[in-house]
A and B are shown apart, each in its own frame.
Chain A
Amino acid sequence: MKQKLQRILPEVTKPARYTNGELNTCHKDWDSVAVKMALAFPDVYEIGMGNLGFKILYHIINQRDDALAERVFMPWVDFQQWMLEEALPLTALESGQPLKKFDIVGFTLQYELSYSNIIKMLDLAGIPRWAQDREEADPIVIAGGPCAYNPEPLADFLDCVVLGDGEEVIGELLDIIKDCKAQKLTRQETLLRLAQVPGVYVPSFYQVEYYPSGEVKAVHKLHDQIPDKIQKRVVVDLDQAPYPDQMVVPFLQTVHDRVMVEVMRGCTRGCRFCQAGMVYRPVRERSVETLKRQARELLDSTGYEEVSLTSLSTGDYSCVQQLVTDMVQECSARGVSVALPSLRVDSFSVKLAEEIQKFKKTGLTFAPEAGTQRLRDVINKNVQENDLYEAVRGAFSAGWFQIKLYFMIGLPTETEADLDGIVTLAKNVLNIGREILPKDGKKPTVTVSVSSFVPKTCTPFQWEAFNRQEVLLEKQAYLRKHLRHPGLKFQAHDVQTSYLEAVFSRGDRRLGQVLAKAVDLGCQFDGWTEHFKYDAWMQAFAELGIDSEFYAYRERKAEEVFPWEHLDSGVSRRFLWYERQKAYQGLTTDDCRFTSCTGCRVCQELGVENRLQGGESSGR
Chain B
Amino acid sequence: MADSIRMRFCVGEPGRFISHLDVLRMVERSVRRAGLPIEYSEGFNPIPKMAFASALPVGITSEAEYVDLKMKTAVESGEATAALNSVLPQGFQILEAVNLPERSEALMSIITTAQYQIKLLQAVPGLETRITEILDQKEISILVKRKNKTREKNIRELIDRLTYDDAANSIFLQCACGLKQNLRPMDLLPFLGLSIGDVLIHRTALLVKTAEGALLTPFEAVKG
Q: Is B31 an interface position by the 8 A CB rule?
A: yes
With contacts A16-B18, A252-B22, A359-B44 taken as known, whether A303 is within 8 angstroms of B31 at the C-beta atoms is yes
Chain A residues near B30 (CB-CB < 8 A)? 303
A19 to B31 alpha-carbon distance, docked (Å): 23
Q: Is B130 an interface position by the 8 A CB rule?
A: no
Chain B residues near A303 (CB-CB < 8 A)? 28-33, 87
Contact B87 A7 (CB under 8 A): no
Contact A19 B59 (CB under 8 A): no
A314-343 interface (Cβ within 8 A of B): 334-335
Q: Taking the nearest CB of chain B, how far is it from the CB of A129, in angstroms?
A: 31
B40-72 interface bits toward A, Cβ cutoff 8 Å, 1 = contact, 0 = none: 100111100000000000110000000000000
Chain B residues near A359 (CB-CB < 8 A)? 43-45
Chain B residues near A249 (CB-CB < 8 A)? 26, 29, 89
Residue of A10, A11, A251 with most partner-chain B CB within 10 A: A10
Contact B17 A15 (CB under 8 A): yes
Q: Is A289 an interface position by the 8 A CB rule?
A: no
Contact A9 B59 (CB under 8 A): yes
Pick the interface stretch among A20-28, A178-186, A219-227. Answer: A20-28
Contact B33 A301 (CB under 8 A): yes
Contact A252 B18 (CB under 8 A): yes
Q: Is A300 an interface position by the 8 A CB rule?
A: yes
Chain A residues near B46 (CB-CB < 8 A)? 335
Q: Is B179 an interface position by the 8 A CB rule?
A: no
Among A9, A22, A305, the residue within 8 A (CB) of B32 is: A305
Chain B residues near A305 (CB-CB < 8 A)? 28-29, 32
- Chain B, residue nearest A24 (CB): B89
- Chain B, residue nearest A19 (CB): B14
B1-33 interface bits toward A, Cβ cutoff 8 Å, 1 = contact, 0 = none: 000000000000111011101100110111111
A52 to B46 alpha-carbon distance, docked (Å): 27
A21 to B22 alpha-carbon distance, docked (Å): 14
Q: Is B224 an interface position by the 8 A CB rule?
A: no
Q: Is A253 an interface position by the 8 A CB rule?
A: yes
Q: Is B196 an interface position by the 8 A CB rule?
A: yes
Q: Is A360 an interface position by the 8 A CB rule?
A: yes
Q: Is A406 an interface position by the 8 A CB rule?
A: no
Q: Taking the nearest CB of chain B, how far is it from the CB of A397, in angstroms?
A: 18
With contacts A249-B89, A251-B26 taken as known, whether A21 is within 8 angstroms of B59 at the C-beta atoms is no
Count contacts between A and B, CB distance < 8 Å: 74
Residue of A16, A251, A252 with most partner-chain B CB within 10 A: A251
Q: Taking the nearest CB of chain B, how far is it from the CB of A338, in angstroms?
A: 14
Q: Taking the nearest CB of chain B, how far is it from the CB of A101, in angstroms?
A: 22
Contact B197 A16 (CB under 8 A): no
Chain A residues near B40 (CB-CB < 8 A)? 335
Q: Taking the nearest CB of chain B, how far is it from the CB of A336, in angstroms?
A: 8
Q: Is B104 an interface position by the 8 A CB rule?
A: no
Among B18, B45, B197, the residue within 8 A (CB) of A251 is: B18
Q: Taking the nearest CB of chain B, how far is it from the CB of A551, in angstroms?
A: 43
Contact A302 B29 (CB under 8 A): yes
Q: Is B193 an interface position by the 8 A CB rule?
A: no
- Chain A, residue nearest B58 (CB): A15
Contact A19 B87 (CB under 8 A): no
Q: Is B91 an interface position by the 8 A CB rule?
A: yes
A302 to B46 alpha-carbon distance, docked (Å): 19
Q: Is A304 an interface position by the 8 A CB rule?
A: yes
Contact A21 B90 (CB under 8 A): yes
- Chain A, residue nearest B35 (CB): A300
A304 to B90 alpha-carbon distance, docked (Å): 17
Chain A residues near B14 (CB-CB < 8 A)? 16, 19-21, 251
Among A10, A23, A301, the residue within 8 A (CB) of B196 is: A10
Contact A304 B13 (CB under 8 A): no
Contact A11 B33 (CB under 8 A): no
Q: Taking the nearest CB of chain A, how far is it from the CB of B155, in angstroms?
A: 19
Contact B91 A21 (CB under 8 A): yes
Contact A16 B33 (CB under 8 A): no
Residue of A16, A20, A253 with most partner-chain B CB within 10 A: A16
- Chain A, residue nearest B46 (CB): A335
A401-460 interface (Cβ within 8 A of B): none
A334 to B34 alpha-carbon distance, docked (Å): 13
With contacts A15-B59, A303-B28 taken as known, whether A10 is within 8 angstroms of B13 at the C-beta atoms is no
A146 to B15 alpha-carbon distance, docked (Å): 35
Contact A19 B33 (CB under 8 A): no
Contact B13 A19 (CB under 8 A): yes
Q: List 7 A-B contacts (CB under 8 A).
A: A15-B17, A251-B14, A251-B15, A251-B18, A253-B25, A303-B30, A304-B29
Contacts beyond the supplied A15-B59, A251-B26, A303-B30: 4 A-B pairs with Cβ under 8 Å: A10-B59, A19-B14, A251-B18, A252-B22
- Residues of chain A at the chain B interface (Cβ within 8 Å): 7-11, 15-16, 19-23, 249, 251-253, 299-305, 334-335, 359-360
- Residues of chain B at the chain A interface (Cβ within 8 Å): 13-15, 17-19, 21-22, 25-26, 28-33, 40, 43-46, 58-59, 87, 89-91, 196-197
Top 3 nearest A-B pairs (CB, nearest first) are A19-B14, A303-B29, A303-B32
